[in-house]
Structure 1
Amino acid sequence: MATQLINGLAVEITGEGDAVLCIHGLGGSSNVWTPIAGALQAFQRIAPDLPGSARSALAAAPLSIESLVETMAALLQRLELPSVHVVAHSLGTIVAQHLAVAYPQLVRSLALFGPLVAPPEAGRPGIRARAALARQGAVAMQEIADAIVRGATSQETQAERPAVLAAVRELIMRQSGEGYAQSCEALAAAQSAALEAIAVPVLLVTGDQDGVAPAANVEAMARRIGDAAVVVLPGCGHWTTLEQPQRCAQELARFYARLR
């Protein structure tokens, strides 16, 4: 595995074969994909830290879904990749949907974990409030991390998987306050992509205790897409690849087997 700095992004590139672009979510990094790396062994895995997240520099202009889409398209152009499979989590799933609509020639399939079309209107003020809190610094980021561990992981994870709680907490706490704040603001302003225009196979995976991407919302999302399969994982919250890595890897492997 080698990390390259490309257009200000820290990008992990490993393996050979068809390329898979892995887009993490809010407060994430390329390490969101480490637990399911086995399912991607037959591929070239391209896993960037998004602008302002983890090891990547914050862009000069404020972050938005549109800017993140353009960043991903520019990365693929720089790597001279004509098309890729896309795997994404949470905020990254919104970016992936817009990428598939804006650049259909680039996207061969979508595997979306904890998928959402856009935040509900009632949830947008809370996301903006979290951005303001993040700008208060390290102590505030710890407060945010603790709240996410409590609210976005399943009861089973909290009772039985302390290492997962530590991993989620560490992911959030390693973010810069400004980078995290701008990512929050991009999410708060996100609008739905034209899902009906997505013409590639889609896998939608959520947890039965995922309050960000409830199963009913994911089912409704699937109905707007022509070729979409939904999987609901038991005992799982929003951090699907960390909470249920074996099941996520299995579902991803089955999905790619069907595409061959």
Structure 2
Amino acid sequence: MSFQLIDRIAVEEEGDGPAVVCVHGLGGSSNSFTPLMPALARHRVVRVDLPGSGRSQRAEGELSIERYAEALLRVCDRLGIARAHWVGHSMGTIVCQHIAAAHPKLAASMALFGPLIAPPEAACTAMKARAAKAREGAAGMHEITQGLLQAAISADTRRRLPLAVAFVRESLMRQDGEAYARSCEALAGAQGAAVDRIEAPVLLVTGDEDGVAPPQSVRAMADRLHNAASKRVVVLSRCGHWTPVERPEECQRELSDFLAAHSRS
């Protein structure tokens, strides 16, 4: 595995084969995709910490979905990636959609976990309130984390998989409060991509207890992908919003089968 900073953006790269670019969600980092790495064997995997997150927390200025997309396009350009399979989680799925809609030749396929086109108005209001809480510092981030452990992870995961809970807790608690607040504001300001323009095959994976990307919303999202080469919706049982962490084996299987079907694209 290699590590480098590209315009102050932390980038990890490993493996050989067709390129896969992984885009994490709010409160995540490149580590959000560690549970999926077995499914990405025989691929060139690029994992990025978005500006304001993980090891890219020192990024200055306002954050936005557009800025995230521009950062990823720069990374691809710097690494000589002209076509890639895109794997996203949560907020990262919005970024992937914008790239696939605006740059169809760059997107060989999209595998989206906990996907949404854009947050609804109520969620945007909640994001702005969360940003204010995050700016209170460590105490604010602790309160946010405790709330999300109840709301974003299924009851079954909390009961049976303490390591998954610890992973999510640490991912959130490691975020800098101010940077996380700006990330919340980026998500609150997110506008949906022109998803009807997406031509790549799309895999949509959610949990039956995912309050951010509930199954009915994900199915409605699939209905809007009119021009996608193919589309598949998978709903995982007793699973919340952190699908790759809560149900790694199922997610690995779905992703592996999806990439095998489209690796020659």
- TM-score normalised by L of structure 1: 0.98
Name the residue aligned to 1:62.
62
Name the residue aligned to 1:133.
133
Name the residue aligned to 1:28.
28
Judge which range, 90-99 or 1-10, deviates more.
1-10
Secondary structure, aligned partner of 2:175: coil
- TM-score normalised by L of structure 2: 0.96
Gaps of at least 5 residues in structure 2 are: none
Q: Does 2:257 correspond to 1:254? A: yes
Indicate conservation of the 8 Å contact 2:26/2:91, yes or no: yes
Secondary structure, aligned partner of 2:93: helix
Indicate conservation of the 8 Å contact 1:8/1:57, yes or no: no
Map residues 27-46 of structure 1 onto 2, 5 A cutoff: 27-46=27-46
Code of the residue aligned with 1:231 in structure 2: it is V
Name the residue aligned to 1:236.
239
CA RMSD after TM alignment? 0.9
Indicate conservation of the 8 Å contact 1:32/1:241, yes or no: yes
Code of the residue aligned with 2:54 in structure 1: it is A
Judge which range, 4-13 or 211-220, deviates more.
4-13
What is the CA distance between 1:2 and its match in structure 2?
Answer: 2.1
Alpha-carbon distance in structure 1 between the residues aligned to 2:108 and 2:179: 30
What is the CA distance between 1:57 and its match in structure 2?
Answer: 4.0
Alpha-carbon distance in structure 2 between the residues aligned to 1:15 and 1:254: 18
Indicate conservation of the 8 Å contact 2:57/2:176, yes or no: no
Alpha-carbon distance in structure 1 between the residues aligned to 2:136 and 2:57: 19
Indicate conservation of the 8 Å contact 2:156/2:238, yes or no: yes
Map residues 41-52 of structure 1 onto 2, 5 A cutoff: 41-52=41-52
Code of the residue aligned with 1:239 in structure 2: it is W
Indicate conservation of the 8 Å contact 1:127/1:185, yes or no: yes
Indicate conservation of the 8 Å contact 2:118/2:191, yes or no: yes
Runs of 4+ aligned structure 1 residues displaced above 6 Å come to: none
What is the CA distance between 1:190 and its match in structure 2?
Answer: 0.7
What is the CA distance between 1:94 and its match in structure 2?
Answer: 0.3
Secondary structure, aligned partner of 1:5: strand
Q: Does 2:204 correspond to 1:204? A: yes
What is the CA distance between 1:222 and its match in structure 2?
Answer: 0.3
Map residues 1-260 of structure 1 onto 2, 5 A cutoff: 1-225=1-225, 226=228, 227-259=230-262, 260=264
What is the CA distance between 1:50 and its match in structure 2?
Answer: 0.7
